[in-house]
Every structure is written in structure tokens, then in C-alpha cells.
Amino acid sequence: MKKLSNCVPGFAHGTTGGKGGEFYVVTDPIDNATDPKPRTLLHADLIVTSDKTINARVANMEICNGAGITVQFVKNVIIHHNIPTKGGKIKDGENHHGLRGASDGDGVSLFRDTNISFDHLSHHHCADGLIDAIQGSTVATVSNCHFTDHNDVMLFRASDSYSADKKMQDIVGLNHFGKGLVERMLRCRFGFIHVINNDYNHWFLYAIGGTSHPTNISQGNRYLCETPSGLRR
């Protein structure tokens, strides 16, 4: 698993994840959000700290029927191979727990993070976005993922007034956007986005959109839409 850090493509190349840490295997479903026992699961959104790799290649793992994954104020995270929930006290560091607000139902939420890699994920049927990266989150790569059955797929930068996002740079590449998708594949503000070698098979409103003067480079993508021609963009 630690070799995954050698495979990160795009701007996030060099992201180390948990390469220098211990293996952590969940073996017990008992939950205590403020003082979790080692190797247990959480009912609320999973707070990911810096220098971590989440690897699901060895099992058919689903994160479902609860909050998704929250990555905030951290760096060097690799996530490899939802619905709104109530907030509460959740441990978000080795020596700290705090009161979390209610989850809005994002599959994965990034907030002021750097060097993040999403690879070989399948996302569908979340309550809000499948992937949201906001408030200065940068150097992110979304690659080799499969997206289906969702309205707002991917949002990079959420505010027209947060001008610090102008320096952000991300890559979306080698992904399959499949049946049941409506829009935001992706939707971005500011920054630089390289959209490369993706397969866009279905959308209802639009595939790629942007406001607040982003630089979107679309290269080597396939666009094949079955919706009425008046709705294609």
C-alpha cells in the first residue's frame, strides 16, 4: 500500500500519504466519536488528518448510509481504490476533539488542503456533491474514478469572492463519467484546471463549467451525450 505514493499523477505527484506511518486495519464496528478505540468505525463524517492513505483495494469497501470523508487544513492525503447526518463532538486530531456541524452530504469534502490524490474511486448517490474542494484546496488530482447517478458531481472552489483561489491548480484525468449524471463534471471558479483523457458518456445540462475566470484546459477527452441536442453544452 505504501507504494501508492509512487503512482500519484498530475499536480499531486509527490503526495506521500501515509507512506511513513503504520498500517491501520478496521476490525471493530463499535463507535465513540470523541474517543474512538483503535481500529473502530465512525458514524459521523470521517475526519482525515495529514499524511494518510485510505486504501480499499483488498476488499469491497463502501462508505454509505452516513456522512462522507472530510479533509480540512491538512496535506499529503491519498484516497485510493452519502447522506446528510447530524453533527456532534468528533475527534479530529491526536489530542483534540471539537463540535462538528451537520454534514451536508458530500461524498468527499476538501477545505484548505494541499497535495490530495483521489484514485480508483466509485461515487454515486450523495446528497450534495460527490467531490467538493473549496477555500484554497489545491494540488489535487482526481484520476481513474467512476461517477454515476448524481446531480452536482464535482465542485472546485465555491465562492466568487474568495480570490485566494486564483492560484489553485488541479487535474481531473482518466475518469469515466457515466449514466445518470446531470452537471458539474466539473464546475470550477478561479485557478487552473487540466481536464485530460476523461470519458464523458452522459450528462443532462452540461459537462464542464466555470465562472470567475478559471483557466480550463480540456485535452484528449471524449464527449458523447445522449440527451436532446438543445440541452448539450
Domain boundaries, the chain: 2-231
Contacts of residue 134, defined as CB under 8 A and 6 or more positions apart, other chains included, come to: 109, 110, 111, 155, 156, 157, 158, 159, 162
The active-site residue, picked from 100, 157, 184, 189, is 184
147, 180 contact by CB (below 8 A): no
The DSSP bridge partners found for residue 209 are: 187
Residue 22: what pLDDT? Answer: 76
Residue 90: what pLDDT? Answer: 44
Residue 65: what pLDDT? Answer: 63
Residue 112: what pLDDT? Answer: 85
Residue 124: what pLDDT? Answer: 85
Residue 93: what pLDDT? Answer: 54
Task: Clarify whether 184 is annotated catalytic.
Answer: yes
Residue 120: what pLDDT? Answer: 81
Instruction: Specify the fold of 2-231.
Output: Pectate Lyase C-like (2.160.20)
Q: What does the alpha-carbon distance between residue 204 and residue 227 come to, in Å, rounded to a whole number? A: 6
**Nearest alpha carbon to residue 123 among 156, 153, 147:** 147
**Per-residue pLDDT tens digits of the chain, which is 233 residues long:** 555 556 666 655 666 666 677 776 767 666 665 666 665 555 555 677 776 677 665 566 666 665 567 766 555 554 554 434 444 444 445 564 554 444 566 788 888 888 888 888 888 888 788 889 888 888 888 998 899 999 999 999 989 988 889 888 999 999 999 999 999 999 999 999 999 999 999 899 999 999 999 999 999 999 988 765 555 54
Residue 119: what pLDDT? Answer: 82
